């Protein structure tokens, strides 16, 4: 049975962007440092100043390995094609996958580094780069109205600067933005971020966090410097659950209480761990924190009112969240990443929704994401 499906988590990576994405959109003072494509040792790469940021047009070493990687390689994602940044070719890929529309996260990793390379660390330059990307993705969204809903990127070194960029994104027509919490100037519970929360609430802009930018300290190789396939694999497995501290800190610090119209998303977090965390959150609050924090509602109530999470393959999570919070979870394909389900999303959907009520399927596959981002049917 064919179903109407929208991906709440897809991607537009730096490696696939047009070479002039940034240099054609930044202010003159940044043109020498803005990311651009050059040829080095016979390969085309993205550079900023003297730093190589990423390859252009192809996944880096190891990313096309494994079964999923081979599927992507066979589909042309390791051949120099830039399908994800070409509206027509991207739409062909989504039609092949049975996906009607996408929420698109952009240039993840450009600040922290990709494929072991350095990222852009200068906060003013990064702000200019994000500003330029946000203008690019707004144009991309307009290329096929109703199909692409790319999100903007926020600087994380200054709350007022982030708030200003939220307003810029709203003016561009972007429905949401992405904030990187792990390398931010202060943790998300800190009062300094009030201007950012307020700007997102006032403009109706959905604010997302996304996994795999929190580093790999949990498995040690970013602390000790030793790497192995097991350590890298362990990080990939546990990466989605790095959102546990973010979601609990946001709720307990009163962000949702102070900003009841704010909407937040845990991007690519998975959902199977949420029932336990929400249960423990309420229990810990009741037993230890209520006298100090004095929240009017149980912590899990703020999640159900204001926070959403996305998943690709989460058999047990679908069933648990169908009972606990079916209106707060959204499926995504993760296109074009190898952690995702493209081009077999329909198979993945049928397998994990087998036996689940049709009304719940519609919510998780279509209705929730469109309600959140205010997308007309």
- Residue 311: closest CA among 321, 323, 302, 301: 321
**pTM (2 decimals)?**
0.95
Residues 103/338/333/54 CA torsion (nearest 10 deg): 0
pLDDT at 60: 54
In a domain, 295, yes or no: yes
What's the chain's average pLDDT? 93
Please, is 98 exposed, middle or buried when counting C-beta atoms within 10 Å of its C-beta (0-12, 13-18, 19+)? middle
In a domain, 334, yes or no: yes
Unique residue bearing structure tokens 């852009």: 120
115-141 confidence digits (pLDDT tens): 778 899 999 999 999 999 999 999 999
In a domain, 268, yes or no: yes
pLDDT at 69: 79
In a domain, 38, yes or no: no
In a domain, 42, yes or no: no
| Contacting residues for 155 by C-beta, under 8 A, at least 6 apart | 123, 126, 127, 130, 161, 162, 165
In a domain, 24, yes or no: no
CATH code where residue 307 lies: 3.20.20.140
Residues 84/86/90/92 CA torsion (nearest 10 deg): -150
Ramachandran bin of 35, using left for φ above 0, alpha for ψ from -120 to 50, beta for the remaining angles: beta
pLDDT above 90 coverage of the chain, percent: 80
Q: How many independent structural domains does the chain possess?
A: 1
| Contacting residues for 323 by C-beta, under 8 A, at least 6 apart | none
- Eight-class DSSP state of 151: P
In a domain, 121, yes or no: yes
What is the mean pLDDT of the segment spanning 77-101? 91
In a domain, 363, yes or no: yes
pLDDT at 218: 63
Count the alpha carbons within 13 Å of 362 in the hemisphere toward its beta carbon: 5
Question: What's the pLDDT band for 77 if we cut at 50, 70, 90?
Answer: confident
Domain that holds residue 241: 6-16+86-372
Give the tokens for residue 19: 């070479």
């Amino acid at each position: 049975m064919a179903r109407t499906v929208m991906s709440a988590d897809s991607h537009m990576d730096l490696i696939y962007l047009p070479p002039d994405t940034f240099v054609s959109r930044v202010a003159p003072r940044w043109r020498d440092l803005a990311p651009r494509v050059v040829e080095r040792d016979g390969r085309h790469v993205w550079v900023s100043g003297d730093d190589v940021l990423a390859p252009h047009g192809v996944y880096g070493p190891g990313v096309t390995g494994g079964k999923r990687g081979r599927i992507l390689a066979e589909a042309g994602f390791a051949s120099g094609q830039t399908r994800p940044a070409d509206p027509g070719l991207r739409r062909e890929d989504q039609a092949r996958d049975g996906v009607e529309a996408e929420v698109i996260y952009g240039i993840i990793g450009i600040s922290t580094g990709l494929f072991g390379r350095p990222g852009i660390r200068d906060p003013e330059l990064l702000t200019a780069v994000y500003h330029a990307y946000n203008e690019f993705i707004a144009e991309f969204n307009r290329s096929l109205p109703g199909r692409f809903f790319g999100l903007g990127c926020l600087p994380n070194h200054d709350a007022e600067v982030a708030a200003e960029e939220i307003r810029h994104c709203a003016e561009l027509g972007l429905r949401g933005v992405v904030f990187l919490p792990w390398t931010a100037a202060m943790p998300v519970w800190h009062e300094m971020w009030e201007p950012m929360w307020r700007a997102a609430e006032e403009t109706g802009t959905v604010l997302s966090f996304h996994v795999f930018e929190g580093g790999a300290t949990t498995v040690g190789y970013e602390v000790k410097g030793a790497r192995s396939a097991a350590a890298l694999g362990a990080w990939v497995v546990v990466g989605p659950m790095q959102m546990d501290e973010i979601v609990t800190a946001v709720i307990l610090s009163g962000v949702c209480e102070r900003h009841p119209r704010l909407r937040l998303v845990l991007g690519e977090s998975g959902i199977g761990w949420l029932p336990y965390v929400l249960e423990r959150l309420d229990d810990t609050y009741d037993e230890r924190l209520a006298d100090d924090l004095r929240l009017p509602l149980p912590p899990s109530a703020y999640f159900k009112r204001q926070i959403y999470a996305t998943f690709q393959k989460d058999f047990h999570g679908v069933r648990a969240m169908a009972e606990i919070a079916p209106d707060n979870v959204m499926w995504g394909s993760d296109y074009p990443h190898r952690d995702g389900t493209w081009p077999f999303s329909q198979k993945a959907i049928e397998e994990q929704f087998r036996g689940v009520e049709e009304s719940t399927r519609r919510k998780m596959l279509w209705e929730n994401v469109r309600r959140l981002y205010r997308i007309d049917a």
